[in-house]
């Protein structure tokens, strides 16, 4: 709803943190910021609308509010257009001048592409969509809010690494960086998860058939020019990691000692792959039109939907780890997605560095290259001026491929890093 309709419902021009205080309950006077604005959505309440699935309960007014009519049971979702901040879907960036009708179109376009309804934020929308996808296909209902999750350890591993160039690398003219395309998106289809409560065990051996959290003693790392799966922890240190990280060590021929674990039987939820494939197919549809170098559509409405879709997979794994939310409070799932994304880029870096075979029936690359920086989204290498890609890296717009992001002189890189 735009300013004209918003005024009719006696809503303020700006979203207030506790606008629900605009209601007068059981004869108590209106207090706080609501006092100056009267009763929010008063015409709708007179018509019988109430909070969704809560008959006769007045709605809490938010940026996105879902209401229900008691007689016919239908729902209506209202978005107060001029309460949306810049970049908050369905609004675009700071220069976006779209009105209520354009914003409504973007919400409908999002639903058309995915079958999902946008809720109050990207994180909430993503978790709601993931839960719906899992519920529709899971043979056994997972524990959405495990009873013992408050006892689970806090995950502590990092996902970024930088090293000092060697003397030989310092003589090279350039530093090139490549950005991995939508690095987190395929991780939802690769994450190793369990739907069960996690069981605590002291000691034991690593079992790749179990998903969850493992307290490991970090083994000696024999590749100083490559990042360890836990790059910030020295050999002999302890850190909690997900199953994918322990498996990465084993694939490299290293066996970290298991001190403790919180795990359950690993399963493969079709719903995770549905979330990933639905988002990817929607992005591909939008990218089929004219786009900029990053793949963002030039049409402002399509661009807003494209950015909204990207926000889904970028925020979902963090929302799963967020304390207090009750839709799908599975921090172990969020960690599993993060670790799948991190070990995914590490696997490419290890192949380019010659410590993993290039393919199942091939040996390691004969021309290893070693990165200066690695994080989940980006890899950076010293370059001899030819622009040659490290073995196994592919430039393109497909998942798992890379686009060039950085091209600077080595002297500038050294200055930026204080090296």
The mean of the pLDDT values for the chain is 90
Q: Are 350 and 391 in contact (CB under 8 A)?
A: no
Most confident of 43-47, 98-102, 324-328: 98-102
Q: Tell me the C-alpha distance between 270 and 253, whole Å.
A: 31
Q: Tell me the C-alpha distance between 304 and 306, whole Å.
A: 5
Q: What percent of the chain has pLDDT over 90?
A: 68
Q: Tell me the C-alpha distance between 185 and 177, whole Å.
A: 20
Q: Are 157 and 335 in contact (CB under 8 A)?
A: no
- The H-or-E segment that residue 325 falls in is none
Residue 113 has pLDDT above 70, yes or no: yes
Q: Strand, helix or coil at 62?
A: coil
Q: Tell me the C-alpha distance between 172 and 178, whole Å.
A: 18
The pLDDT score that the predictor gives to residue 18 is: 54
Angle between helices 243-251 and 331-352 (to 10 degrees): 20
- DSSP designation for 84: P
Most confident of 72-76, 92-96, 183-187: 183-187
Burial 198-225 (b: 16+ CB within 10 A, else e): beeeeeeebeeebbbbbbbebbebeeee
Range 11-16 average pLDDT: 78
Residue 216 has pLDDT above 50, yes or no: yes
The pLDDT score that the predictor gives to residue 25 is: 47
Q: Tell me the C-alpha distance between 77 and 66, whole Å.
A: 4
- DSSP designation for 157: -
The pLDDT score that the predictor gives to residue 40 is: 59
The pLDDT score that the predictor gives to residue 54 is: 86
**Residue-wise pLDDT tens digits, 320-353:** 998 778 889 999 999 999 999 999 999 999 999 9
The pLDDT score that the predictor gives to residue 27 is: 45
Q: Strand, helix or coil at 13?
A: coil
Positive/negative CA dihedral, 37, 43, 44, 48: positive
Paired residues of 64 in beta bridges? 79
The pLDDT score that the predictor gives to residue 26 is: 45
Range 168-182 average pLDDT: 96
Residue 263 has pLDDT above 50, yes or no: yes
Residue 20 has pLDDT above 50, yes or no: no
Residue 28 has pLDDT above 80, yes or no: no
Q: Tell me the C-alpha distance between 259 and 156, whole Å.
A: 15
Residue 231 has pLDDT above 50, yes or no: yes
Given pLDDT bands bounded at 50, 70 and 90, which one contains residue 314?
Answer: very high
**Residue-wise pLDDT tens digits, 270-302:** 999 999 999 999 999 999 999 998 899 999 999
Q: Tell me the C-alpha distance between 240 and 243, whole Å.
A: 10
The residue whose two tokens read 């992001």 is 405
Length of the chain: 419
DSSP characters over 17-45 = TTGGGGS--TTPPP-GGGGGT--TTHHHH
Q: Tell me the C-alpha distance between 389 and 398, whole Å.
A: 16
The pLDDT score that the predictor gives to residue 324 is: 75
Q: What percent of the chain has pLDDT over 70?
A: 93
Q: Are 284 and 297 in contact (CB under 8 A)?
A: no
Residue 8 has pLDDT above 90, yes or no: no
Q: Tell me the C-alpha distance between 352 and 283, whole Å.
A: 29
**Residue-wise pLDDT tens digits, 118-147:** 988 999 999 999 999 999 998 888 999 998
Residue ranges of the alpha helices (H) in 145-192? Answer: 167-170, 187-190
Given pLDDT bands bounded at 50, 70 and 90, which one contains residue 17?
Answer: low
**Residue-wise pLDDT tens digits, 349-407:** 999 999 999 988 899 999 999 999 999 999 999 999 999 999 999 999 899 899 999 99
Q: Are 123 and 322 in contact (CB under 8 A)?
A: yes
């Amino acid at each position: 709803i735009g300013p004209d309709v918003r005024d009719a419902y006696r809503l303020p021009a700006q979203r207030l943190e506790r606008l629900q205080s605009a209601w007068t309950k059981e004869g108590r006077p209106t207090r706080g910021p609501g006092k100056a604005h009267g009763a929010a959505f008063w015409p709708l309440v007179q018509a019988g609308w109430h909070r969704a699935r809560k008959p006769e309960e007045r709605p809490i007014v938010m940026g996105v509010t879902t209401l229900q009519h008691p007689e016919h049971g239908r729902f209506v979702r209202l978005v107060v257009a001029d309460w949306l901040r810049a970049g908050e879907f369905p609004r675009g960036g700071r220069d976006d001048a779209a009105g209520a009708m354009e914003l409504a179109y973007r919400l409908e376009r999002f639903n058309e592409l995915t079958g999902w309804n946008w809720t109050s934020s990207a994180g909430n929308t993503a978790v709601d969509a993931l839960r719906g996808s899992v519920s529709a296909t899971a043979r056994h209902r997972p524990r959405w809010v495990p009873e013992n999750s408050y006892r689970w350890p806090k995950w502590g591993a990092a996902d970024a690494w930088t090293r000092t160039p060697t003397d030989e690398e310092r003589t090279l003219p350039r530093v090139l960086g490549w950005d991995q395309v939508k690095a987190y998106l395929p991780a939802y289809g690769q994450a190793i998860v369990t739907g069960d409560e996690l069981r605590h065990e002291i000691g034991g051996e690593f079992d790749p058939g179990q998903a969850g959290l493992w307290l490991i003693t970090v083994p000696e790392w024999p590749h100083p020019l490559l990042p360890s799966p836990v790059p910030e922890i020295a050999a002999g240190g302890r850190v909690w990691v997900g199953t994918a990280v322990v498996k990465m060590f084993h694939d490299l021929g290293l066996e970290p000692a298991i001190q403790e674990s919180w795990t359950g039987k690993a399963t493969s939820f079709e719903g995770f792959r549905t979330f990933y494939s639905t988002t990817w197919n929607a992005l591909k549809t939008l990218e089929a039109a004219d786009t900029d170098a990053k793949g963002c559509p030039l049409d402002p409405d399509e661009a807003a939907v494209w950015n909204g879709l990207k926000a889904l997979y970028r925020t979902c794994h963090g929302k799963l780890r967020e304390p207090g939310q009750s839709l799908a409070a599975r921090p172990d799932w969020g960690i599993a997605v993060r670790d799948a994304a991190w070990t995914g880029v590490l696997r490419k870096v290890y192949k380019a560095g010659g410590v993993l075979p290039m393919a199942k029936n091939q040996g390691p690359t004969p021309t290893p290259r070693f990165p200066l920086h690695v994080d989940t989204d980006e890899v950076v290498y010293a370059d001899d001026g030819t622009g040659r890609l490290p073995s196994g890296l592919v430039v393109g717009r497909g998942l798992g491929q890379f686009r060039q992001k950085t091209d600077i002189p080595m002297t500038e890189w050294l200055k930026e890093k204080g090296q």
